[in-house]
């Protein structure tokens, strides 16, 4: 497994602007991605590269929690994991993956637009290990949200969405997704800040560039990495309060990106305003 090279960040946070990266796991040729802006600060888009999809790992072995947590993380995971899928994409650039949230029993699934942008083929790996074909039925680059429809499925468990306006700094949260292809990974942390203005480059399909995407994000220190894009950030009740989409991740000397405990999610109430328009 290889990781895409990213522009390196030189100097400390105080000295230089941070890089902000989308949390997708695109499997394409190694290449630096475009710069972005977060609250007037330059940054870069996340797109960790894998030579091939990582073998699936039993979800029960992928739980990590804060030792001081008062939230029953295992209980939250048990409620939410059936509603989280892995989104697998084939595009002209190669293979990629992200995460998704089940919206309906018949397979309507929410993910990030940048996960499926330019997709020629989409499949979804369900929490029970089945992989089924899927199609993109609606996408909105301006909000970085998309809906895909899984084929021939029924009886899936829709996620429950909460009220992100009720989220407070210091609230404990849980992130679930497929970082680096490790499906069903569960991590926990807190809400570090609210209303962070995140701006990242628009997703290009190779035909033309697109406008930058901005949203007011929930900041969290729950560990998220490439492949978490489109997965849920949930509260102590197991309700989705955000869709994980970007992190701060300074590039190492090798150009590889990883979590440093500063992640961002599109608030659930922003998602509600768009989701019904996506199909």
User: What are the CA-CA distances from residue 76 to residues 104, 142, 224, 240, 258 (Å)?
Assistant: 20, 31, 17, 11, 25
Q: How far apart are CA 75 and CA 21, in angstroms?
A: 30
Please state, rounded to an integer, the average pLDDT across all residues of the chain.
76
Q: How far apart are CA 153 and CA 160, in angstroms?
A: 19
From the list 143, 164, 223, 229, the catalytic residue is 229
pLDDT at 131: 97
Sign of CA dihedral 94, 95, 100, 106: positive
CATH number, domain 1-279? 2.40.10.120
pTM of model > 0.85 = no
Tokens encoding 185: 């990974």
pLDDT at 277: 84
106 is catalytic: no
Tokens encoding 49: 């590269």
Is 103's pLDDT higher than 60?
A: yes
Residue 199 pLDDT class (50, 70, 90 cuts): confident
- End-to-end C-alpha distance for the chain, whole angstroms: 35
In the chain, where the domains are located: 1-279
DSSP secondary-structure letter at 56?
P
Cα–Cα nearest to 214, from 199, 204, 229: 199
Q: How far apart are CA 105 and CA 137, in angstroms?
A: 16
Is 112's pLDDT higher than 70?
A: yes
210 is catalytic: no
Within the chain, where are the H helices?
73-80, 113-116, 268-275
Is 188's pLDDT higher than 70?
A: yes
From the list 91, 99, 114, 188, the catalytic residue is 114
Quick: pLDDT tens for 22-43.
544 443 322 222 223 333 222 3
Give the three-class secondary structure for 42: strand
Average of per-residue pLDDT across 53-62: 37
Quick: pLDDT tens for 154-184.
999 999 999 999 999 999 999 999 998 999 9
From the list 83, 144, 164, 188, the catalytic residue is 144
Range with the lowest mean pLDDT among 22-31, 99-108, 123-132, 182-191? 22-31
Quick: pLDDT tens for 213-239.
888 999 999 999 989 999 999 999 999
144 is catalytic: yes
Cα–Cα nearest to 176, from 51, 263, 53: 263
Give the three-class secondary structure for 179: helix
Residues 17, 19, 23, CA angle at the centre, nearest 5°?
160
């Amino acid at each position: 497994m290889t990781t895409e090279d990213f522009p390196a960040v030189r100097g400390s946070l105080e000295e230089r602007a941070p890089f902000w990266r989308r949390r997708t796991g695109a499997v394409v040729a190694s290449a630096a991605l475009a710069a972005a802006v977060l609250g007037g600060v330059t940054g870069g888009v996340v797109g960790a590269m894998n030579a091939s999809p990582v073998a699936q790992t039993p979800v029960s072995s992928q739980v990590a929690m804060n030792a001081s947590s008062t939230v029953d993380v295992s209980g939250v995971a048990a409620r939410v994991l059936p509603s989280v899928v892995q989104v697998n994409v084939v595009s002209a650039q190669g293979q990629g993956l992200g995460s998704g949230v089940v919206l309906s029993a018949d397979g309507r699934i929410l993910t990030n637009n940048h996960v499926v942008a330019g997709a020629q083929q989409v499949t979804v790996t369900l929490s029970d290990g089945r992989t089924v074909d899927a199609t993109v039925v609606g996408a909105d680059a301006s909000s970085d949200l998309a809906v895909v429809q899984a084929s021939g499925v029924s009886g899936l468990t829709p996620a429950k969405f909460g009220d992100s306006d009720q989220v407070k700094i210091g609230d404990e949260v849980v992130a679930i997704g497929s970082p680096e292809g490790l499906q069903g990974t569960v991590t926990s942390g807190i809400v570090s800040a609210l209303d962070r203005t995140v701006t990242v480059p628009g997703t290009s399909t190779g035909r033309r560039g697109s406008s930058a995407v901005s949203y007011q994000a929930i900041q969290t220190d729950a560990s998220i990495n490439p492949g978490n894009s489109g997965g849920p950030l949930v509260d102590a009740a197991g309700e989705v309060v955000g869709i994980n989409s970007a992190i701060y991740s300074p590039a190492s000397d090798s150009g590889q990106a990883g979590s440093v405990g500063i992640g961002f999610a599109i608030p659930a109430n922003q998602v509600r305003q768009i989701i019904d328009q996506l199909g």
